[in-house]
């Protein structure tokens, strides 16, 4: 009996098979990812359905790949690291994601926390992500087309905020929309120079603690709608 075409596309074969995903998990473990729940979520989430078919054979390399509109799908190691860091700090319910892109990080988060709110400035990317995530059957995701510098005030405050494009400085609105006791992961710095992935914890209305998790390379957080 053959699988329905839709399901077969998710499972993949050859370079997009479960074996390819398992190999990537071994690599991520060697790079220091420790959380079994994060590794298993990546293991069973098909990354190849988020990218163009022509690139599918590279879907389980630990690399960023183009997704159109001059943007990239994040490197699996970075997705795993950001997710693991948020979970390790106890984030489980609401997460605001800035930079939906193709929706891969969104898909990982949606399987691990209660509700994801995701903001993107490029309409074509947001629409593609909505289609892919609904095909995967993920329902606890709300989409918003906007400049993520403003966050998404309507649903604030958030227990977690994850920013997948780099501003030069942390946008003040995002700091305000973080719940007291909540955590924000955000890459900060110029494109093509050293960026720091920072974890910012809000201790009180005015007291924030910031620590550097890793040196990273993200596309820039741009101003306004595309």
Q: Is 74 in the site for ligand SAH (CB under 6 A)?
A: yes
Q: How far is the CB of 3 from ligand SAH (least distance, A)?
A: 26
Where are the extended beta strands (E) located within the chain?
65-68, 71-73, 94-98, 115-120, 141-145, 158-163, 178-188, 195-202, 208-216
Per the CB < 8 A criterion, the answer to whether 192 and 213 are in contact is no
Q: Is 164 in the site for ligand SAH (CB under 6 A)?
A: yes
User: What is the spatial distance between Cα 93 and Cα 175, in angstroms, rounded to a whole number?
Assistant: 18
Structure tokens that stand for 194 in this block = 């050293």
Is 25 or 108 the residue whose CB approaches ligand SAH more closely? 108
Is 3 or 225 the residue whose CB approaches ligand SAH more closely? 225
Is 49 or 165 the residue whose CB approaches ligand SAH more closely? 165
User: What is the spatial distance between Cα 165 and Cα 100, in angstroms, rounded to a whole number?
Assistant: 10
Is 119 or 188 the residue whose CB approaches ligand SAH more closely? 119
Q: Is 72 in the site for ligand SAH (CB under 6 A)?
A: yes
Beta strand pairing status for 115-120 and 141-145?
Answer: parallel
Stretch near ligand SAH under the rule CB under 6 A, chosen from 37-45, 121-129, 187-195, 204-212: 121-129
Residue from 2, 13, 74, 126 carrying the catalytic annotation = 74
Instruction: Tell me if residue 2 is catalytic.
Output: no
Q: Is 98 in the site for ligand SAH (CB under 6 A)?
A: yes
Structure tokens that stand for 69 in this block = 């509109």
Applying CB under 6 A, among 12, 101, 151, 189 the residue interacting with ligand SAH is 101
Burial of 48 (0-12, 13-18, 19+ CB in 10 A): buried
Residues at the contact surface with ligand SAH, assessed by CB under 6 A: 71-74, 98-99, 101-102, 104-105, 119-122, 125, 147-149, 164-165, 219, 221-222
By annotation, the residues acting in catalysis are 74
């Amino acid at each position: 009996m053959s699988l329905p075409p839709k399901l077969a596309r998710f499972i993949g074969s050859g370079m997009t098979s479960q074996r390819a995903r398992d190999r990537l998990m071994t690599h991520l473990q060697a790079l220091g990812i420790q959380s079994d729940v994060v590794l298993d979520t990546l293991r069973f989430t098909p990354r190849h359905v988020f990218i163009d078919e022509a690139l599918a054979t590279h879907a389980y390399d630990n690399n960023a790949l183009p997704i159109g509109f001059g943007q990239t799908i994040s490197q699996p190691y970075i997705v795993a690291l950001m997710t693991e860091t948020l979970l390790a700090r106890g984030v489980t319910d609401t997460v605001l994601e800035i930079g939906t892109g193709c929706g891969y990080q969104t898909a990982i988060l949606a399987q691990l926390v209660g509700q994801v709110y995701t903001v993107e400035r490029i309409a074509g990317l947001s629409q593609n992500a909505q289609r892919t995530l609904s095909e995967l059957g993920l329902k606890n995701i709300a989409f918003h087309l906007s400049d993520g510098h403003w966050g998404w005030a309507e649903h604030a405050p958030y227990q977690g905020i994850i920013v997948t494009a780099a501003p030069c400085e942390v946008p003040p609105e995002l700091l305000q929309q973080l719940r007291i006791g909540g955590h924000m992961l955000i890459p900060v710095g110029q494109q093509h120079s050293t960026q720091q992935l920072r974890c910012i914890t809000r201790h009180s209305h005015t007291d924030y603690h910031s620590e550097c998790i890793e040196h990273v390379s993200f596309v820039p957080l741009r101003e306004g709608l595309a």
